[in-house]
A and B are shown apart, each in its own frame.
Chain A
Amino acid sequence: MESFSSPSDEALLDDEAAGGPTFLDRLFDHGLLIRTGVDGLYGRSGAFESVVDALDRLITRLGAADGAEVMRFPPGMSRPAFERSGYLKGFPNLAGTVHSFCGDSAGHAEILACVEAGRDWTGQQEASDIVLTPAACYPLYPVAAARGALPAEGRLFDLQSYCFRREPSLEPTRMQLFRMREYVRMGSPEQVLAFRESWLERGTAMMRDLGLPLAIDVANDPFFGRAGRMLANNQREQGLKFELNVPVNSVEKPTACLSFNYHQDHFGSTWELRQADGGVAHTACVGFGLERITLALLRHHGLDLAAWPAAVRTALWG
């Protein structure tokens, strides 16, 4: 895949290497992120959110002409739908299930005693029928399939959700709870591949307009275990996933800020989603990591939003 050079590809601030505060520390010190005591679980300041909101609106403007149907789901999905989605085949380690207390008054007293004594109190928690959403599009597929076969022109959806992935990290770009904006296309292979191609171009132009150095690279999802290595190799061989990477934490390991995914008939088969002609529907999506793009902007343009380049501020806020 073509790689793109940057408009401003100077070296990242090398503060950590010089023994200075990390990027995450500086984000805390400036109040942009707020500590909670859990790695990867942070509060956001008003300034941080103003960038996230601006990005969300920018992405809406870029896709407006396509007439996507907007859907917003809370950051939890039905456990049966989650199980059927196949997520556990590839990412059992990243999933987060919602558990709740299902005991009686005696159990309640026991929990309080455990908390008081500093012992494990979670023994009486039972899995509920809710799983934390792992990607914004996961709640969509069963809803779309329930409508019956797609019309001849296919369908296009606009989603945004907080998503959960259990991967505690000190890299600010690897949060456990983060927002993902997505456009999801359903239709024939030709329709969904044309969609992905168009967003490879639009996404690249968007990030260039934001003054960010970037490269488009073939990629794979972080599938679990040995079986996962094979799934990852297959995914790369078939060119199913591309990522738009920006150096944020380091130049050597840039951060995927956008991803462009062709699922082939995976979700179509899983959910019995049909094209108008009865064939299994193909799907593709473009995903935007809203916190990641925000962090890339903060990294490259500085922690003071008012001092960002005028062109970047105009692209975001008009």
Chain B
Amino acid sequence: MNITQAIRDILGSNEAFAGKADQLSEDDSLFDMGLDSFGSVQLMLALEERFSVEFPDALLNRKSFATIRAIRDAVSTLVRQEAA
């Protein structure tokens, strides 16, 4: 499973990133580029559904969803925990 591409696909469904999710660098600040609080919640819920994981409370913050890299790190950790 290509986690990064899946994250880009999900981001592409957000109004702020429609049509440009593939051009985002891994370290672009998603919040600076238009992701708002509720958008980050929708992103979180879509990631949970896509990867069958649940973000623990400790990860329910802006930092976890600040960049594609941060999201991938969080999702990868959760997927590994799920598989273990």
Contact = CB atoms under 8 A, between A and B. Distances in A.
Contacts of A227: 41, 44-45
B62 A237 contact: yes
Interface in A222-240: 226-227, 229-231, 233-235, 237-238
A266 B45 contact: no
Contact of B62 (A86, A89, A234, A269): A234
Contacts of B57: 229
Contacts of B61: 230, 233-234, 237
A142 B45 CA distance: 30
B40 interface: yes
A186 B45 CA distance: 32
B37 A235 contact: yes
**Interface residue tally on A, bucketed by range:** 10 to 19
Contacts of A269: 36
A235 B41 CA distance: 12
A238 B37 CA distance: 11
Contacts of A266: 36
Contacts of A86: 38
Most buried by A among B37, B45, B61: B37
Interface in B8-67: 36-38, 40-41, 44-45, 57, 60-62
Contact of A89 (B38, B40, B60): B38
Contacts of A237: 61-62
Contacts of A230: 37, 40-41, 44, 60-61
Contacts of A234: 37, 40, 61-62
A267 B38 CA distance: 13
A214 to B, nearest CB: 28
A266 B40 CA distance: 14
Contacts of B40: 230, 234
Contacts of B41: 227, 230-231
Nearest to A266: B36
Most buried by A among B38, B44, B57: B38
Interface string A203-227: 0000000000000000000000011
A255 to B, nearest CB: 25
A241 to B, nearest CB: 12
A231 B62 contact: no
Given A227-B41, A227-B44, A227-B45, A233 B36 contact: no
Nearest to B41: A227
Contacts of A235: 37
B57 to A, nearest CB: 6
A227 B45 CA distance: 8
A86 B41 CA distance: 14
Given A227-B44, A227-B45, A233 B60 contact: yes
Nearest to A236: B61
10 contacts: A86-B38, A89-B38, A227-B41, A230-B41, A230-B60, A231-B37, A231-B38, A233-B60, A234-B62, A266-B36
Given A237-B61, A237-B62, 9 more contacts: A229-B60, A230-B44, A231-B37, A233-B60, A233-B61, A233-B62, A235-B37, A238-B62, A269-B36
Pairs of residues from A and B, 8 with the lowest C-beta to C-beta distance, nearest first: A230-B60, A227-B41, A233-B61, A234-B37, A229-B60, A230-B41, A234-B62, A233-B60
